Amino acid sequence: MADSRTQKARPRVLIVLAVVAAAAIAIDQFTKFLVVSNLELGEVVPVVGDLIQFRFVKNSGAAFSIGNAYTWIFSILAAAVTVVIIWFARRIRSLAWAWVFGLLLGGTIGNLIDRLFREPGFGVGHVIDFLTIPLLPAIFNVADVCISGAMVLFLILTLRGVGLDGTRGEKPAVSSEAEPEAGAEPEAAPGADPLAEPEKS
C-alpha cells in the first residue's frame, strides 16, 4: 500500500519541482531584463527607503559577487549542479524536498543562463545583480534568493529528520522479548513444576 502511494506521489512531486524551477527562472530573467532595460550600470534606486535598493552591477563571480576571477569555473560547476539535480530528482517523493530542489535548480539555471549568453562571451558572461541591502555587503538577484531559500529549507528538513520520501526517522521498536532484569527469577521451563526444588549435583 505504501509503495502504491509513493508511486502515485512521484509524478506530482516532479511536477511541483519543475513548476517551482520554471517560475524561479522566469522571475529571475524577467527582473534582470527590466533592470538592464531601465537602469544604467551602477545606478542606485531606493525601493524601500534605504532598507532595500536596486543597484545595477555585472558580476563575473559566484553568488553575492564572490570569486570574480573564476567565472568559467563557476559556469562548469553550475552546469554540473544542474545535471546532478535533474538526475537526483527521481529519488524525491516529498513535496517539501521538491521545493528545495526546485528552488535550487531554478536559481542555478537562472545564473547559468547569464554566464552562457551574456557579455563578454559564452561561459564567461557576467551575471546581472541588482538587489542590495545596505546593511549587507553583497549585491544579489532573484536566483541568489532562490538558492539561499533552498539552503534554508534544506537545513530545516534535515534538522527535522525528513527524508527524501517525506518520512521522518523513527526510533527502533522495543523488542517484545525483553532481557530479564538483574536479580529477577528466571522463568520456569514449559511443563516444569514451579514448586519443585532444583536438583543438587
Summarize pLDDT for 121-140 with one digit per residue, the tens: 888 899 999 999 988 888 99
Where helices occur in 64-94 by DSSP H, the ranges are 71-88
User: How high is the pLDDT of residue 149?
Assistant: 97
User: How high is the pLDDT of residue 151?
Assistant: 97
User: How high is the pLDDT of residue 97?
Assistant: 96
Where helices occur in 89-196 by DSSP H, the ranges are 95-117, 142-159
User: How high is the pLDDT of residue 190?
Assistant: 56
| Tens-binned pLDDT, residue by residue, of the chain (201 aa) | 445 555 556 889 999 999 999 999 999 999 999 999 999 999 989 988 778 999 999 987 655 555 556 677 888 999 999 999 999 888 899 999 999 999 999 999 999 999 999 988 888 899 999 999 988 888 999 999 999 999 999 999 999 999 988 888 654 444 444 455 555 555 555 555 555 555 554
User: How high is the pLDDT of residue 173?
Assistant: 47
User: How high is the pLDDT of residue 88?
Assistant: 87
The angle that helices 142-159 and 2-38 make with each other, rounded to 10 degrees, is 150
Which residues contact residue 107 at a Cβ distance below 8 angstroms, ignoring those fewer than 6 apart?
24, 28, 142, 143, 144, 145, 146, 147, 150
Catalytic residue positions, numbered? 129, 144
User: How high is the pLDDT of residue 48?
Assistant: 86
The pTM of the whole model exceeds 0.85: no
User: How high is the pLDDT of residue 65?
Assistant: 53
DSSP 8-state symbol, 89? G
